């Protein structure tokens, strides 16, 4: 834990809650300490925040660059902000399965800053899984087996015309159905800032092990996914008005729970620019 930040673990292996920081003002060594906490713990939660859309954008710019999301609706006034919205009458939510944002990009986004704007009375929590903890828990034979492997990631089956979202009641709101995506990354990457080994495959976007068919890839992928699904590696972010979470896509998976039917939920997300990943 940082000596600059007052913080406590969110769960034994994943996440941290940071106290006494107003993100609208965070800069310098405070922002450096927050970055380090996010890189190590995967997700950092901040309560009692008051971030206007402009302050949200300024914070993301102070962090580094912004990647504009190609699929989610954007706010009319601030195209840097993607809207993660489910209306009371909709059944499907965005991000309601374990995934790592943008793993289908050759240079995947570093992470996101998510601001709670409208919350259901109960539910709508977001689960995070620590992929360093998941890697560490693999048996030595599996670690050797995956050491030099690469995997192929794409979002085409999710966002394209006829894809997973197009068959749901949020399909009409999404953009980018004409885009084609695809990237290969090592199955195990080293975190570019902490050096920790991380399992870098996820059930939503990783479709094959390079050099193998989908059918031949699935047994190994499912074995790796099963370790990451172990709740020992997880943390739960319970949203309240004023909660902001910042997460690292390399260190974590996340899953937005869809257990609030009949109520609206709206979150504002800015995606932070990342760097190319290596084993």
Task: Provide the binding-site residues for ligand SIN, judged by CB under 6 A.
Answer: 84, 94-95, 114, 126, 254, 256, 267, 269
**Residue number with CB closer to ligand SIN (110 or 256):** 256
**Residue number with CB closer to ligand SIN (217 or 255):** 255
Q: Minimum CB separation from ligand SIN for residue 84, in Å?
A: 4
Q: Minimum CB separation from ligand SIN for residue 16, in Å?
A: 17
Q: Minimum CB separation from ligand SIN for residue 264, in Å?
A: 12
Q: Minimum CB separation from ligand SIN for residue 235, in Å?
A: 13
Q: Minimum CB separation from ligand SIN for residue 179, in Å?
A: 18
The residue with its CB nearest to ligand SIN is 95
Distance, in Å, from the CA atom of 184 to the CA atom of 187, rounded to the nearest integer, reads 9
Q: Are 49 and 243 in contact (CB under 8 A)?
A: yes
Q: Are 164 and 205 in contact (CB under 8 A)?
A: no
**Residue number with CB closer to ligand SIN (33 or 45):** 45
Show Cβ contacts of residue 5 under 8 Å, excluding neighbours closer than 6 positions. 18, 19, 20, 21, 30, 33, 34, 37
Distance, in Å, from the CA atom of 247 to the CA atom of 37, rounded to the nearest integer, reads 10
**Residue number with CB closer to ligand SIN (130 or 197):** 130
**Residue number with CB closer to ligand SIN (4 or 97):** 97
Strand (E) or helix (H) holding 217? helix 214-228
How do beta strands 244-248 and 43-46 pair? antiparallel
**Residue number with CB closer to ligand SIN (7 or 243):** 243
Q: Minimum CB separation from ligand SIN for residue 151, in Å?
A: 20
Distance, in Å, from the CA atom of 180 to the CA atom of 259, rounded to the nearest integer, reads 31
Supply 67's token pair.
Answer: 């990647």
Cross-strand partners of 234: 129
């Amino acid at each position: 834990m940082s000596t600059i930040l007052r913080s406590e673990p969110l769960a034994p292996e994943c996440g941290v809650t940071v106290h006494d920081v107003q993100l609208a003002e965070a800069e310098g060594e405070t922002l450096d300490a927050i970055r380090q906490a996010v890189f190590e713990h995967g997700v950092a939660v901040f309560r009692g925040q008051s971030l206007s859309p402009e302050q949200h954008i300024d914070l993301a710019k102070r962090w580094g660059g912004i990647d504009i999301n190609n699929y989610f609706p954007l706010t009319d006034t601030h195209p840097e902000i993607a809207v993660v919205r489910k209306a009371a009458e909709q059944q499907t939510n965005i991000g309601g399965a374990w995934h790592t944002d943008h793993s289908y990009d050759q240079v995947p986004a570093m992470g996101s800053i998510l601001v709670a704007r409208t919350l259901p009375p109960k539910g709508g929590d977001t689960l995070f899984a620590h992929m360093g903890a998941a890697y560490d828990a693999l048996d030595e034979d599996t670690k050797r087996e995956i050491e030099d492997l690469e995997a192929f990631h794409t979002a085409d089956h999710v966002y394209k015309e006829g894809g997973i979202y197009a068959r749901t009641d949020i399909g009409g709101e999404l953009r980018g159905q004409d885009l084609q995506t695809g990237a290969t990354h090592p199955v195990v990457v080293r975190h570019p800032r902490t050096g920790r080994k991380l399992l870098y495959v996820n059930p939503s976007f990783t479709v094959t092990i390079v050099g193998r068919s989908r059918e031949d890839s699935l047994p190994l992928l499912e074995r790796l996914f099963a370790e990451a699904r172990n709740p020992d590696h997880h943390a739960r972010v319970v949203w309240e008005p004023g909660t902001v979470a910042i997460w690292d896509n390399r260190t974590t998976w996340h899953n937005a729970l869809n257990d609030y039917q009949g109520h609206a939920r709206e979150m504002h997300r800015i995606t932070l620019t990342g760097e190319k990943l290596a084993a």
